[in-house]
Structure 1
Amino acid sequence: MKVIDYAARFEGLDSDVLFELEYGTPESGSGRSDPDAPQEYVEQLLIVLADWRARFLDGSRTDADDYRRCLDAVREAWLQYSFRWVDGPNLPYPFDLPRTEAER
């Protein structure tokens, strides 16, 4: 039976990826915008997370740390994407506290 590498689907995910989905890259020069593309992409990732979660509940997966890391990546990317705009506030990236501060 083939083991699904769920975590691979989240590699490199950040708000910049979501912006590229919406606006393209400077190299592409397409000038087109697809405002629905980031949401559709995140929805697909949420479906992956839901399936992955179901595998934990049925006992067929044990990679909980990877699951949590990927869930946090989706949260952070969507948060940053949702609240970033030209001349907007200077937001920290990521919002998580550094590990040393979080352990206090």
Structure 2
Amino acid sequence: MGSREDAKEVVIVLTDGKSQDDVAVPAMKLRNKGVLIFALGVQSSRGKLDVDQLESIVGVKNHLFVFREGFASLTEDFAMELSDSVCHDPCYDEPEHH
């Protein structure tokens, strides 16, 4: 399958905690280049999720998905919601991939 000229580059961050690195500056550089960044923050029973840090990574609040009930809350319905948010419609040329 060839690439679409109008397709955006996308980064999806999945975390259950907080980065020990400086993530705001590299994330801002990516966003300035037109890269869309989405983050999935999953609150685990053993860790503390840093939502402020995730907001600084994505830059746009509707690109942040927070799950307070752990990894079990990542359902198939959520997968479809994420696909719609990231890919819009359609994500693929073939209808069977929706």
TM-score by length of structure 2 reads 0.32
Work out which of the two has the higher radius of gyration on C-alpha atoms and give 1 or 2: 1
More strand by share: 2
User: In proportion to residue count, which structure has more helix?
Assistant: 1
Higher relative contact order (CA 8 A, sep 6+): 1
